[in-house]
């Protein structure tokens, strides 16, 4: 399957393993991952965030309930919300999540945004699990036609040591553990370059109390809600 589908499948497998109730996808783009996740029966709250409102709105109506959802209401309740805003800014609507996914997001961040990202995601949102995926630049020589970066909007592409040092330092700073994996296997004989997409799975080491989830973090709402569906 294409690489993006392997990344989404990785998240679906993780949801199957940890059964999170509240999942947020940062940099959700056209909401394809959110749409896939709405079929996971453990999930009760799904939220998407993107800095580009138009790409989010393109196919967001896929997230609305279908007639069958009204005719055969499921046991669980599901709320899906889309927010317009930046991962460089804190908003209370992102508190209390079990899983936060950042798929092919960080390489699109400006230096100043990337600097704020750990404090917003790990310090403020502080979900039980964070998943971050990003290109592995060591794989690039195997991709036809890639000269500098895989996409013109990428601000950087990291090799494994670069990503892992950033991730380990972030994990240490915010009291998470992190494990590295990836999707997109290299061809036989080229295993030394690693996965095409590198992935860090961060697990929060400390338990979440309702205080640390909500009340001790008074913040003003800055994101704009662009979609909401209640099943």
**Minimum distance, C-beta of residue 3 to ligand SAM, in the bound complex (Å):** 10
Minimum distance, C-beta of residue 155 to ligand SAM, in the bound complex (Å): 9
Q: Per CB under 6 A, which region of 49-57, 73-81, 121-129, 165-173 contacts ligand SAM? A: 49-57
Piece of the chain touching ligand SAM by CB under 6 A; list 50-58, 75-83, 135-143, 161-169: 50-58
Residue from 81, 86, 134, 136 binding ligand SAM (CB under 6 A)? 86
Distance in Å, CB of 226 to ligand SAM, minimum: 13
The answer to whether 12 touches 101, Cβ cutoff 8 Å, is: no
| Residue in 10, 38, 9 with CA at minimum distance from that of residue 23 | 38
3-class secondary-structure state, position 45:
strand
- Confirm if 48 and 82 have CB atoms less than 8 A apart: yes
> Tokens 């949102």 correspond to what residue?
125
Nearer to ligand SAM, 52 or 146 (CB): 52
Q: Which of 44, 69, 113, 119 binds ligand SAM (CB under 6 A)?
A: 113
Reading the block at residue 125, the tokens are 């949102």
Regarding 99 and contact with ligand SAM (CB under 6 A), the answer is no
Angstrom distance (rounded) from CA 80 to CA 67: 16
- Minimum gap (Å) between residue 102 Cβ and ligand SAM: 8
Interaction pattern, residues 116-155, with ligand SAM; x per rule: CB under 6 A: ----------------------------------------
**155-178 b/e with 16+ CB inside 10 Å = b?**
eebbbbebbeebbeebbeebebeb
Nearer to ligand SAM, 20 or 27 (CB): 27
SS3 37: helix
| 3-state secondary structure at position 24 | strand
The interface region with ligand SAM, picked from 36-44, 64-72, 98-106, 174-182 by CB under 6 A, is 98-106
What's the closest the beta carbon of residue 83 comes to ligand SAM, in angstroms? 9
CB-nearer residue toward ligand SAM: 78 or 183: 183
- The dihedral built from the CA positions of residue 51, 109, 171 and 16, taken in this order, carries a sign that is positive
Among all chains, which residue has been given the structure tokens 């996965």? 195
Residues 32, 55: Cα–Cα separation, whole Å = 11
Q: Report the interface residues with ligand SAM, using CB under 6 A.
A: 4, 7, 27-29, 49-52, 55, 86-88, 103-105, 108-109, 113
């Amino acid at each position: 399957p294409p690489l993006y589908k392997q990344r989404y499948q990785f998240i679906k497998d993780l949801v199957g393993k940890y059964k999170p109730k509240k999942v947020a996808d940062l940099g959700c783009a056209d909401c394809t991952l959110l749409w896939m996740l709405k079929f996971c029966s453990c999930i009760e709250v799904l939220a998407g965030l993107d800095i580009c409102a138009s790409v989010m709105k393109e196919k967001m109506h896929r997230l609305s309930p279908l007639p069958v959802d009204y005719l055969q209401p499921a046991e669980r309740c599901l709320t899906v919300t889309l927010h317009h805003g930046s991962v460089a800014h804190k908003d209370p609507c992102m508190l209390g999540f079990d899983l936060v996914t950042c798929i092919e997001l960080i390489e699109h961040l400006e230096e100043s945004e990337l600097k704020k990202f750990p404090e917003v995601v790990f310090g403020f949102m502080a979900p039980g699990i964070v998943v971050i995926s990003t290109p592995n630049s060591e794989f690039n020589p195997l991709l036809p036609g890639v000269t500098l970066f895989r996409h013109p909007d990428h601000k950087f592409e990291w090799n494994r040591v670069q990503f892992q040092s950033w991730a380990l330092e972030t994990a240490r700073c915010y009291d998470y553990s992190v494990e590295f994996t990836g999707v997109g296997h290299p061809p036989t004989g080229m295993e030394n370059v690693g996965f095409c997409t590198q992935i860090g799975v961060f697990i929060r080491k400390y338990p979440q109390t309702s205080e640390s989830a909500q009340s001790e973090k008074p913040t003003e709402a800055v994101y704009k809600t662009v979609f909401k569906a209640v099943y």
